[in-house]
């Protein structure tokens, strides 16, 4: 079971160090942290597994504000998120861009958590499976037979809204994705200590990508404990 904490644009280096001073997860759960770029080195001091929140597809060049896979390798991080719904929705990232980021990171030896998911409008119009098929197949084609890839299903309508897919909705989407690509799949979408156990008990859910609830050591540790007993 893999539990990843995406800190988004929270926690500078001092706050990151303070978090790890109070974080005690169970030993049998794989935990990944995705802090902001400025806090990568502080997070690495903890000895935990650290991923970046994004990565570019080129090794170097005139790409202001971007960070290459080779730079992440040099810092010592283990991988990167790609295609988070906020990157897609707020910064215009396309399926092609997400796929290129995934391929470049995997080629550099990094692990990748690639995010997919539908908007509320797409779900209500009955297009969930079509959207997921397009997104997953783009990532699958880019990844090829590289194994260090995890998919995160995050329904966009459940990101930062307090809404959560029911365990049945999440399981249905995860089972569909597994039919397209046989890789571990995390659920992301307002995962909290209160709902984690029920979500993680679903047979096709292999872990969670946690946003806001990963910012406090106690709440994140509680989600990790729920994964330990699932």
Q: How confident is the model at residue 229 (pLDDT cuts 50, 70, 90)?
A: confident
Q: Please name every residue paired with 31 in a beta bridge, in sequence order, or none if there are none.
A: 3
Residue 120 has pLDDT above 80, yes or no: yes
Count Cβ atoms within 10 A of the Cβ of residue 167 and give its class: 0-12 exposed, 13-18 middle, 19 or more buried.
middle
The answer to whether 230 and 201 have CB atoms below 8 angstroms apart is yes
pLDDT of residue 58: 97
* Residue corresponding to tokens 């997070």: 43
Q: Say if CB 56 and CB 68 are below 8 A apart.
A: yes
Q: Quote the CA–CA distance of 114 and 139 in Å, as a whole number.
A: 8
Residue 10: enclosing H or E segment and its boundaries?
none
Q: How far is residue 181's CA from residue 184's CA, in Å, rounded to a whole number?
A: 9
Handedness of CA 115, 85, 156, 161 (dihedral sign): positive
pLDDT more than 90, % of the chain: 90
Active-site entry in 86, 118, 154, 171: 154
30, β-bridge pairs: 2
Query: If pLDDT is split at 50, 70 and 90, which confidence band does 147 have?
Result: confident
pLDDT band, very low/low/confident/very high, at 188 (cuts 50, 70, 90): very high
pTM: 0.95
Cα–chain center distance at 214 = 12
In tens, the pLDDT along 58-113 reads 999 999 999 999 999 999 999 999 999 999 999 999 999 999 999 999 999 999 99
Whether 194 is a known active-site residue: answer no
| Average model confidence (pLDDT) across the chain | 95
* Across 37-64, average pLDDT: 98
Measure the CA–CA gap between 152 and 114, rounded to whole angstroms: 6
pLDDT, tens only, 200-227: 999 999 999 999 999 999 999 999 999 9
Angle at 193 between CA 133 and CA 50, to 5 degrees: 65
Contact 217, 187 (CB under 8 A): no
Task: Count the Cβ atoms, other than its own, within 10 Å of residue 40.
Answer: 22
> How would residue 163 be classed by pLDDT, with cut points 50, 70 and 90?
confident
Write down the pLDDT at residue 142.
93
**How far, in Å, CA of 166 to CA of 169, rounded?**
5
Please indicate whether residue 174 is annotated as part of the active site.
no
What domains can you pick out in the chain, each with its CATH number? 2-228 (3.20.20.70)
Contact 88, 51 (CB under 8 A): no
Q: Mean pLDDT over residues 4-12, rounded?
A: 98
The active-site residue, picked from 84, 93, 118, 171, is 84
pLDDT surpassing 80 at residue 164: no
């Amino acid at each position: 079971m893999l539990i990843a904490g995406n800190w988004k644009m929270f926690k500078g280096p001092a706050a990151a160090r303070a978090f790890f001073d109070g974080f005690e997860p169970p030993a049998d759960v794989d935990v990944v942290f995705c802090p902001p770029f400025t806090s990568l080195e502080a997070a690495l001091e903890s000895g935990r597994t650290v991923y970046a929140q994004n990565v570019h597809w080129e090794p170097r060049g005139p790409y202001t504000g971007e960070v290459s896979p080779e730079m992440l390798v040099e810092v010592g991080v283990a991988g990167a998120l790609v295609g988070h719904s906020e990157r897609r929705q707020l910064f215009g990232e396309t399926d092609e861009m997400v796929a290129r980021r995934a391929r470049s990171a995997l080629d550099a030896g990094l692990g990748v958590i690639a995010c997919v998911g539908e908007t509320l409008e797409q779900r209500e119009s009955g297009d969930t499976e079509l959207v997921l098929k397009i997104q997953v197949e783009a990532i699958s084609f880019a990844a090829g037979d590289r194994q260090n890839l995890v998919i995160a299903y995050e329904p966009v309508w459940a990101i930062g809204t307090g809404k959560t897919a029911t365990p049945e909705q999440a399981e249905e989407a995860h089972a569909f994705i597994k039919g397209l690509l046989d890789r571990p799949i995390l659920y992301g979408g307002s995962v909290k200590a209160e709902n984690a156990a029920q979500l993680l008990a679903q047979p096709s859910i292999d872990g969670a990508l946690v946003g806001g609830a990963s910012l406090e050591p106690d709440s994140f540790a509680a989600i990790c404990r729920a994964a330990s007993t699932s």
